[in-house]
Each structure stands twice: as structure tokens, then as C-alpha cells.
Amino acid sequence: MVSAESLFGPIDPAPDAGYVDAPPRMGFFTDTSVCIGCKACEVACKEWNLVPDHGLDLLGMSYDNTGALTANSWRHVAFIEQPRPLGAESPALAGTATGPSGSAHLAERASTPPGVPNTDPGLPPAPHPGPAAAMAASPEFLGMPGTDLPGRQERAGQRTDLRWLMMSDVCKHCTHAACLDVCPTGSLFRTEFGTVVVQEDICNGCGYCISACPYGVIDQRKGDGRAWKCTLCYDRLRDNRVPACAQACPTESIQYGPLDELRERAQRRVERLHADGVPEARLYGHDENDGVGGDGAFFLLLDEPEVYGLPPDPIVTTRDLPDMWRRAGLAALAMAGAAVAAFVGRRSA
């Protein structure tokens, strides 16, 4: 029923799951180089999938007030500001004498909020305030929302060029999906399109999938108890329609289609960007020889994955499962052996 091959390495997931005549594997290619951070995808997803509101909070670190993928946010637009001119553009801020409206101090305070956060579910805070401060520390930082007037702080007038990185994150619909492997109820299943979907009428909220996902995607909904995540609009796919987020994206940053086609298109795009002088462009999750057998939703990034909150080299935990069972078997034998020895050892005792 389960062979070692279906736990790791390149496979086509739908036929591997037992579908005969499965349609081609469908997925997303999210090209962050054209994302404008409008969050239309976040909104469209909520509208179509009736995802509950995730509350209102100011995270104080950037224009991103969603914070992370959660049970109530199945698309999340990350926002990063970096001091770096883009390509051959003329300096964007030449001649403007304004100071930062955000500050390290602000980002630091906001990354480890006191008390209960206003978002639902509450976003996990940062364990240390340092990184948020460091990200916001540069004099160029425009991070919003600011509570200081531009120019008021001592670093007024020091701004230089910058770039904004925006990236619409989503469930990766892994080829080897740890969430699906570990689900004890069969609630998570592989669709004929090769995507990974939770059945809300089956899930009993055991939470296993949440600890298993190497990307921190799937999440428990407070008050409801069940696990929720992107379905890649399974209902729309079955109707031959484009997922809501891809449909809503005004710049085609989110592209939907057969995974093979998307991979080719992504390859061309990254080559084009390299030729145009954006050497930092790279694909993430496109490689079927990576630790999860490739992602059904993959990305073109302009910096290291971890800058966007993505793990740099995720490996599906179930790759090691045969070994784990072996070790448990040995431990069980040792335990039984100890018990036998203890009682047989010296009968007189």
C-alpha cells in the first residue's frame, strides 16, 4: 500500500494516489517580480471560499498586516523593504529630503506584542525583537504604518534607494505532503489534480498536520478546532475554472495552469530576468528533486527564501518514517527484553 518510493523523490502524485486517467497536475506559479502587493488575491480567496475575517491589527512592521498564512488567511502577501536600487532605474528618491516614518524601535515593539493580538487566530509573535528591528533599522526604511512624522527623527534626510519585495504566499500543495501523510482520519486527501485538500466534515482537529507541514501553512481555527488551508479552489477546478486568487491578480503574478507548462514558463522568466540584469531572481519549489518532491505551487523570488519567511531547504518529515519505525521497533524489543530479563534474571530476589 505504501512503498518507500511514494514517501520521497520525484513522482506524479495523483496517479501515485491511485487515480486512473488523472487530469494533468495543476498548480500555481507565483512570479513575485511582478507582484504589486495589492492583496486582491487575499480578498478574492476570502470571498470565494467564505474564509472568516482574520481581525484587524497593525503589525507595525510593514504594509503587511496579515502577517502569515493562517487558518483564516489562505493567501498571504509578504512585504519587505530593502535598501537597493532596482536595475538601471534612476534613483527613486533623489532630491527628496524626508525621514523615515517607521523605525527599528517601532518594528521591534510590534514584533513581540504584549497581551493578546487582535488578529484571529492570533499570529505567533517573534521570539526575539532583534530581527524585526534589524529589518527596519536602515535609514531607508519606509515601513508602514508609521506613527512618527517623516523628518522628525534624527536620521532625517538619509534615505536612499530601496526596493520593495512583495510575495503572495500560499499552500505549496507538495508532491510529498507531510500534512496528508500524517493525517490519521483521512481528512486530508490528494485530488485528481494532484492538489492537497482538507475535508472539513472529516477533520477532528487532532492537529497533527499542523506540526508536520514544513512550511507552516496549515493551521487550526480557534473556536472551530479544525485544520484549514488553501484548497487550490478544488470546487472551481472541477468546473474548469481558474482559482479565485489567480483570477483576481491584476498583474498575473499568480499564474495557474498545468504544472509542466508553468515550470517551463518559469524557467523562461528567470532566464529573461537574468538577462535583464536581475541576477538575484531564482525559482523556489520548482525542482522535483528537492526535499518535498517539488511544490505544486512554486515561486520566483528575488532574495533568499527565508527573507520571505520560507524555509530554505524543507524536507518532508515522512522521508525518514521507515527509519523511525525501525528505531521504534528496536526500542520496543529492548523494552520487552529488559522486562523479561528483570523477571527471569534472579528468581530468588
- Candidates 41, 197, 198, 212; binder of another protein (CB under 8 A) is 212
User: How are beta strands 297-301 and 26-31 bridged, if at all?
Assistant: parallel
CB of 167 to ligand SF4, least distance (A): 15
Span interacting with ligand SF4, options 15-23, 25-33, 129-137, 215-223, rule CB under 6 A: 215-223
CB of 262 to another protein, least distance (A): 15
Contact criterion met (CB below 8 Å) for 191 and 19 = no
Answer yes or no whether residue 233 interacts with ligand SF4 by CB under 6 A.
Answer: no
Contact criterion met (CB below 8 Å) for 186 and 167 = no
Residue 100's closest CA among 29, 153, 175, 168? 153
Going through 130-174 in order, the beta strands assigned E by DSSP cover 163-170
**Which DSSP category does 154 fall into?**
T
- Candidates 35, 174, 270, 273; binder of another protein (CB under 8 A) is 270
Going through 302-338 in order, the beta strands assigned E by DSSP cover none
Answer yes or no whether residue 168 interacts with another protein by CB under 8 A.
Answer: no
Residues 130-189 that bind ligand SF4 (CB under 6 A): 171-174, 177-179, 183, 185, 187-188
Span interacting with another protein, options 16-24, 43-51, 118-126, 240-248, rule CB under 8 A: 118-126
Residues 185-204 that bind ligand SF4 (CB under 6 A): 185, 187-188, 196, 198, 203-204
The label of the residue with cell 498548480 reads 27
CA distance 11 to 9: 6
Contact criterion met (CB below 8 Å) for 77 and 168 = yes
- Candidates 28, 29, 63, 215; binder of ligand SF4 (CB under 6 A) is 215
Q: Which residues line the annotated binding site for [4Fe-4S] cluster? A: 35, 38, 41, 45, 171, 174, 179, 183, 203, 206, 209, 213, 230, 233, 245, 249
